Structure formats: C-alpha cells, structure tokens
Amino acid sequence: MMAKHATILWGHSRLVVLLFIFVLHFVTYSCKSDAEILLKLKESIADDGALSSWNDSKPPCNGDNGNWVGILCGNGTVLGVKLENMGLRGVIDVDVLKELKNLRTLSLMNNKFDGSLPNITRLVALKSIYFSGNQFSGAIPNYVFDGMFSLKKIHLARNKFSGEIPQSLTTLPRLSELMLQDNKFDGKIPQFQNGILKLFNVSENELIGEIPRSLRDMNASSFSGNKDLCGAPLESCAPALSIGTIIIVTILVTLAVAALIAVVVILSQRKQLPEQEQATVSPPGYRKAFSTNLNKVEQGTASPEHGTNGKKGNNNMKLIFLQDDREKFNMRDLLKASAEILGSGIFGSTYKAALNGGQAMVVKRFRHMNNVEKEEFHEYMRRLGRLNHQNVLPIVAFYYRKEEKLLVSDYMENISLAVHLHGNTTRGRPCPDWPTRLSIIQGVAKGLSYLYNELPSLMAPHGHLKSSNVLLDRSYNPLLTDYGLVPVVNQDRAQEYMIAYKSPEYKNNGRITKKTDVWSLGMLILETMTGRFPSSFFQQGSKGNEADLVSWVESMVKEGNTDVDRVFDKNMGRKDKSKGEMTKLLQIGLNCCEEEVDKRWDLKKVVERIEQVKEMDTDQEYNSRGLSK
Ligand SMILES: *[C@@H]1O[C@H](CO)[C@@H](O)[C@H](O)[C@H]1NC(C)=O
Ligand SMILES: *[C@@H]1O[C@H](CO)[C@@H](O)[C@H](O)[C@H]1NC(C)=O
Ligand SMILES: *[C@@H]1O[C@H](CO)[C@@H](O)[C@H](O)[C@H]1NC(C)=O
C-alpha cells in the first residue's frame, strides 16, 4: 500500500517529494552532535576495537576530512558511514542513524552482519547502500524501498537473502546500480523501467521465468547460475504452447474419451444385436459423428484460416469488443498468442495469452453458459461491458459459440487475492500486510457497492465473490471479476457451484437475497484476516459446513480478547498498533456472515463500516469495548 501511495506521490510532482524531504529534515533536526550520534550507533556494534578512533578526543569531521575511521565528511558534517572489511557484527540501529541528517552513503560491505535487512526506509535521503558480503538473510519486504526516491545504488550481493526481488525496487526513479548476485532470491525478475539501470546483476540466485525486455541488453553473466531463467540475453524461452494448440488438445482429448466410450458402448451393443444388424449400426455412424465434431472444432475454434474465410466459420470466429478505447485484436491473434494455463475452474479453464505487442490478456472459457439465447447474451455482455469502476475488471471482449463462450480481459500482474493468501509461500510471493489487506477489502467493498448500483435488477449482482475472483494489479489494487454472471449460467450449474448458492439462506430456504453478496463479502473478510480457506466452498452439497470458519472466528473472538491474536493470519504482520482496527474489520466480517438474513447488515451499512476502519488504532479502548455482537 505504501508503494501505491508513494507512486501516486511521485506521480503528483517532484516538488511534493522535495518538500516532504525538506519537512522531514526540519522535523528530525536535533541538537545531538554527530559525535554523540555515532557513539550511540557504535554501542550496538561488536567491533573488536576496529572503531577505537570513534572517541571523544577529536570530532568525527574536520571540514571535508574524517577524523574517525570510516566516516565521510563534507563541510564538517557526516555524509557517509563506510565500514568495510572490519569483521563487524551486531545491530545497525537505524533509529540512531536517521539522526545523521546528511547521510548519503551507508556501506557495511564484507562484514559479519546477519539477520534481516536493516529497515532503511527511514533514511529517506540515502543515495547508496552497500551491504554486499554479509550474512543478511530472509525475504526483503516490499515496503523497505517505498518512497526511497534518492536511492541510486543498491548492493546486496553475497548475502543469504531469499524470497522474491521486491517489486518496490521498480518504483525508484534514480536507481542505476542493483547488485543482487549470490543470494537465494526466487520467483521472477520484476519489470524494471527501460534504460535506468546501468549495473545489474542477479546471477547465482534461484530465479525463474522470462527476463524482462527492459533488461535484455545487460551482459549474460548478470543472469547466469539461476534455476530457470530464459529469454534474451540468455537462450530464448521454450515456445509456450499457443492457446489454439491448448484448446485443440483439450478438445481432441475430450473427443478421444468420447470416442472410446462410444466404442465401448458399440461393442457392448454389438454383443446383443442380431448378426445382420451389426454392420449397419456401428462403424459408419460412429465415424460420421467423429468427423462432424472435428469439423465443428476446426470451424469454431481451432483453425483461424477456416474461420475467417470459410462461409460457415465467419460468424463463429468473431471476437466482439466491448471497450471502444482498446487496441483491437482478433481471434486469430488470440489463437496464435503464446498461452499459459492459469487455472481451471468449474466453468472451464483460464489462460494467460501474450499478444504480439507484448500485451497480456486473460481468456476465460465458459461452458454451461446457455441460460439465455444468443441475442440476449450479446445484449447482456454489452451491458456488463459498459461497467466502469476502478475496482471492477472490465470485460474487454467476448466470443460466442453455443458450446462455449470466451471472456477476454486484461491480465493483472499480481494475479489474485487467493494466490497471495494461500499460494505456495516457498515461491516467495510477499504476503500482503495488514494495511494492504485492509485496502483490498475496502476496494472490494467499493466495487461491490458499484455493482449493486449498476445492476439493480440482479438479486446477487456479483454472485460469485471469492478470493480467486478478486484480482490484484501491480499496486495491489483489487479488481472484481466473474461478476454478474448468475443470469447467463445454466441454473443447475449455478446452484451447484456459485458462491451465492453456498449461502445459508439458499441452503435453508432455497433462495438468494439482496444480502447474499454481503454474506460472500463477509466470508472473504474472514478468509483475508485469518488466511484460512473456507473449505466448504469446494465441497458440493455440504450442509451447514460454511459456518465452520465463521463459528471458529466467533469462538476465538468471544473467548476473551487476549486470545484474539491467534485468529489473525501470522503472515499479516504489524499487530500491536493495529489490533483494535483489525478486530473491528473481523467483527464486520462476522456481521456480514450472520445466518439470519434479517439480522445481517445490508451492503450500504457494511461499506460505511469498512470505510471507517483505519490502519492504526486511533484509541486503545478496544479491549474494554467488548467484541461480542
Ligand atoms: C581515540 O582516537 C584517536 C584517533 O583519533 C586514537 O589515536 C586514540 O588511540 C583513541 N583513543 C582511545 C582511548 O582509543
Ligand atoms: C560546503 O559549503 C560550501 C559553501 O557553503 C559549498 O559551496 C560546498 O559545495 C559545500 N561542500 C559540500 C561537500 O557540501
Ligand atoms: C555478476 O556476478 C557474477 C557472480 O558474482 C559474476 O561472475 C559476473 O561476472 C557478474 N556479471 C556482471 C555483468 O557484473
């Protein structure tokens, strides 16, 4: 979240940033001398005498010269602390360092410092950090580089850092040197802007995936020794299967299975049939059905050539765009695009397709979407296509065939909330912290509220709200997807699988209400705050199980406030100063999950309450306010 704010701030104007730094200088101005500050810093460092010149006999600076070892001076003040090759251990007290108001450079190269990266976020004026050759370890949280707009050089090589390379590094406008070699970073290399990095090295890590285009001119040795990196300047990535191929393969496999079943059925019938009928019934009929199917596939999806030129295919191949301001591409581009399966849901699979221009789109296949006729479907899609809100993912285009529909939308860099809550943590995806989760929930609430206003005729305007349908863009801004589909999905499918139909009111009374999406939102809040997956979503026809997460949270919250900590996802961090507000959000979640619809809050109230939740506790009274409903 800080990243987002920082980016916005940057976008506003550099003036604001300069002002900010100026004000910060002013506020942090202290009467302590540089000597006092450095001696305080020395207290937490084990130096074995290496810093003995740091004593009261002389001041640290004499004009532009340093009297103390490792101190860089300018005009009598400390500009840099350069403690290299000294066998130092211990702790770098950043709170003390931040009082050196002119500190531009901090070097701890080749010592024995360990633990996590010192939180340099507070040293706003810093231009270079050289921490290479230590024992620092663990993942680097994204916020460490947020707002560090002066940073030019970051050297973290030869440590034991793990997790993903922080995205926030890509927001630093002046970054020219980034040395991360010989660590244990994993995941993909984030997208750096073109041309700002002069020195870059990520060799000897555990990185995977394609090297971003902006780094293709770097030396190949900057990328060597990684797990699975590809693309220029290394060898090109194995050509990904094209989406056309994937679809053809899927369809052929389905057909093959069908054919096998047909053969089995035919063979078993054969046994029962009188001799003379056998010849007419089986082989020709079966062959005919198979080839018609194959033809259909070719005209419909598989072969763009037939589709665009052929007589029958013409209608079939048309991708209908719902957004005027978008660059147009056609079905042929989409089929040719290299694609990657993102997941397979209950309605069909989801693919990421990279178009020729490098733009990534997501293509979702929907089967079982024949609740309305073709004309009505087109009309309805146009209506959904007109929706426009920052928390609602626009449908860019769609493709209609009776057997299946494709919905095309933009690819979101951070995939979905579900991935971040339940994804494989060893892949090093940063787990969203509390402020991020709060802002995600606030965005979801806004998006939902917008859908309620724009689709008033729908009982459940979203209908399928769950963490995998909350997509996250590169700044973790949430966007709802798969909304408004209840009217077009086959009713039996909808009732069996869609989240709205998992609600207590549907289970108890067989109906959904205007408060059903509120219940889904409540479940989403509990899932986001606890990190626990509401398992009942996956179990079809389970009765009353959806209450599991709810009753667990309820019991934890009621047991007494001291225990409430255990409810929160451990990966969320930052608890002490925010516990009251976190509990508030949890309580809102519980209110949304109220089984009795009459007692459940309506969306308007829920949105209001969620808006009121703050990142930090504004008072410390939550302990006495009580937590039961
Ligand atoms: C204090 O620093 C000076 C150099 O500035 C050094 O010569 C002297 O030995 C130091 N004193 C002590 C007690 O370490
Ligand atoms: C020191 O101060 C002088 C005059 O105030 C200025 O011209 C010079 O750039 C300063 N030097 C440094 C290293 O800040
Ligand atoms: C990157 O680091 C590796 C390992 O330390 C080294 O062998 C290689 O020469 C470096 N490449 C560049 C371009 O700095």
Q: What is the SS3 assignment for 172-192? A: CCCCCEEECCCCEEEECCCCC
| Rounded Cα–Cα distance for residues 158 and 211 (Å) | 21
Give kind and range of the element (H or E) at residue 80. Answer: strand 77-82
For the sheet containing 349-354, what is the strand order?
A: 319-321, 397-400, 405-410, 360-366, 349-354, 338-344
Pocket of ligand 1 (CB under 6 A): 52-53, 55, 57-58, 67
Here the tokens at position 193 are 């802007």
246: in domain: no
Is the pLDDT at 399 greater than 70? The verdict is: yes
Give me ligand 2 centre to Cα 191, in Å: 38
Helix ranges (H only) for 328-433 are 331-336, 374-385, 417-422
Residue for token pair 């296509």: 385
Specify the range with the lowest mean pLDDT, choosing from 13-22, 110-119, 451-460. 13-22
Give me ligand 2 centre to Cα 73, in Å: 11
Specify the range with the lowest mean pLDDT, choosing from 259-263, 344-348, 483-487. 259-263
Q: What mean pLDDT, rounded, does the chain reach?
A: 79
User: In percent, how much of the chain has pLDDT > 70?
Assistant: 76
Which residue, among 356, 296, 312, has the nearest Cα to 332 in the 3D structure? 356
499: in domain: yes
CB 399 within 8 A of CB 406: yes
Residue of 343 and 578 predicted with greater confidence? 578
CA torsion sign for 430, 434, 439, 441 is positive
269: in domain: no
Domain that holds residue 96: 29-234
What atom in ligand 1 is closest to the CA of residue 53? 2
244: in domain: no
The total of structural domains in the chain comes to 3
Give me ligand 2 centre to Cα 29, in Å: 19
Given 379, 395, 411, which residue is the final one in a domain? 411
Given 234, 254, 276, which residue is the final one in a domain? 234
Q: Residue 622: which pLDDT band, with cuts at 50, 70 and 90?
A: very low
Given 234, 254, 269, which residue is the final one in a domain? 234
Residues 182, 296 within the same domain: no
Residues 296, 227 within the same domain: no
The one-letter amino acid at 400: Y
Residue for token pair 């050759």: 133
What atom in ligand 2 is closest to the CA of residue 74? 13
| Rounded Cα–Cα distance for residues 63 and 73 (Å) | 7
Residues 626, 507 within the same domain: yes
Residue located nearest, by CA, to atom 9 of ligand 1: 53
Residue located nearest, by CA, to atom 5 of ligand 3: 181
User: Is 364 assigned a ligand-binding role in the annotation?
Assistant: yes
For 295-333, the pLDDT digits (tens) are 333 344 433 333 333 334 444 568 899 988 888 888 777
Q: What is the 3-state secondary structure (H, E, C) of 532-599?
A: CCCHHHCCCCCCCCCHHHHHHHHHHHHCCHHHHHHHCCHHHCCCCCCHHHHHHHHHHHHHHCCCCCCC
Residues 452, 588 within the same domain: yes
What atom in ligand 2 is closest to the CA of residue 75? 1
User: 138 CB less than 6 Å from ligand 2?
Assistant: no
Residue for token pair 């109230």: 605
What atom in ligand 1 is closest to the CA of residue 67? 5
Residues 442, 482 within the same domain: yes
Residues 427, 398 within the same domain: no
Residues 529, 582 within the same domain: yes
Q: Residue 590: which pLDDT band, with cuts at 50, 70 and 90?
A: very high
The one-letter amino acid at 493: R
Residues 158, 40 within the same domain: yes
243: in domain: no
Give me ligand 2 centre to Cα 103, in Å: 15
Which residue, among 574, 465, 576, 447, has the nearest Cα to 519 in the 3D structure? 465
Residues 50, 70 within the same domain: yes
For 260-281, the pLDDT digits (tens) are 666 555 555 544 433 332 222 2
Residues 515, 593 within the same domain: yes
Long-range contacts of 212-221 (CB under 8 A, 24+ apart): 213/358, 215/189
User: 63 CB less than 6 Å from ligand 2?
Assistant: no
Can you tell me the mean pLDDT for 343-351? 75
Residues 399, 471 within the same domain: no
Which residue, among 236, 182, 170, has the nearest Cα to 207 in the 3D structure? 182
Is the pLDDT at 293 greater than 80? The verdict is: no
Is the pLDDT at 577 greater than 70? The verdict is: yes
For 76-126, the pLDDT digits (tens) are 999 999 999 999 999 999 989 988 988 999 999 999 999 999 989 888 889
363: in domain: yes
Residue for token pair 């409540």: 522
Can you tell me the mean pLDDT for 567-595? 87
For 518-558, the pLDDT digits (tens) are 999 999 999 999 888 886 554 444 444 445 788 888 887 77
| Rounded Cα–Cα distance for residues 397 and 328 (Å) | 9
Residues 546, 421 within the same domain: yes
Give me ligand 2 centre to Cα 75, in Å: 6
